[in-house]
Structure 1
Amino acid sequence: MAIVETELEPGHRPPVDAAGPAAGDGPRRRDFLNIAAVSFAGVGAATVLIPLVNQMNPSADVLALASIEVDLSKIAAGSGIKVAWRKQPVFVRYLTPAEIAEAKAVPIASLRDPQTLDQRTKPGKENWLITMAVCTHLGCVPLGITPGEDRGQYGGYFCPCHGSQYDTAGRIRAGPAPRNLAVPDYSFTSANSVQIG
């Protein structure tokens, strides 16, 4: 039997079986190389991304302060204490009945950042005002947590940096601060104990 060679015109290819390789051929070397390359790239990407994402997690000292317990038994009415939570100062203040009445008497419509005292305290515990001790203007720590400090004309807190004044509910009343002192997440764990965070 003679083999006849035919010359193909330029641009023509020999016919290819439309069914592709026979079923018994299995994966080709090129398929293996593609799978190996993609797998290697995936492992490399994971090796780079895991430390990158992990470095965004809070440090151990911040996690240790994720929540703090504050003893309320030593705080006198009309006074308060400053504690550190997540490296930020927090005011814990024991309001007197006169301070509560003064905060409730303020017309809400007259406030720059309208909130009632009830919205800023827990039900049945309106005598305990817990706020971040950071002025909402530029982050200074206001005065007024103890009775001897300047509390401004509204009896709450006075920021010595730029003159912002807060009332007995920690609401902004005068000065450049745009918002009330922030209220962190907290809950009472007993009659004399509060957990912040």
Structure 2
Amino acid sequence: MTSCLVLGKPNVGKTLFSLRFAFFLGARVVRLARAGEERTWASEEMAARELVSDQPHQTLAVQRLALEIRARKGSRRFDLVDTGGLTDEIPASQAVREAQAETLGLLRQAGVILHMVDASRILSPGAVEAAGEVDAQLFRFGRTRGAYLILANKMDLDGATEGLGEVRRRFAGAPVVPLSARTGLGFGEVKRHVRRHL
């Protein structure tokens, strides 16, 4: 089954986007598999309360959501894979290092790569969400793939409009979708990209 990998730095909104995008695609319930266990939620609010946090490295295991999307000939099944946050430095925590290694291990086999950045904080030196070397490396790798898309998230926050300009400058040559995981802005464009590459 094709996988659609959502990755980026900690706290850029990967998990909230993954949950809300699943419901946007028509999921009535979300079944999320991670580290050998499976959980089910009937609403994005319930799932978000349990899985989303302002603290970095809340996601310490790859989380797979089995989804379906309408395509030209019927529908296509795929895994939307929410990943742990990648950092520029080697983290002190072994659990975080293992989550990052697991994420990087999936990168080459992903059918679609959704590289998320925080447009509201990209210009904030020292912030965990600010763009860094790991984003530059993901961009270099992603440019070689036809199914690579940059999601400029948090467009609903102050500073995001200016940040979007920086995202486009920094990652020139890659397609960029202005996005808000909170409001759903840009979800239709992401859906079209994913459907095109499945």
**Superposed pair shares fold, TM > 0.5:** no
**Normalising by structure 1, what TM-score?**
0.20
TM-score, structure 2 as length reference: 0.20
Higher Cα Rg, which structure: 1
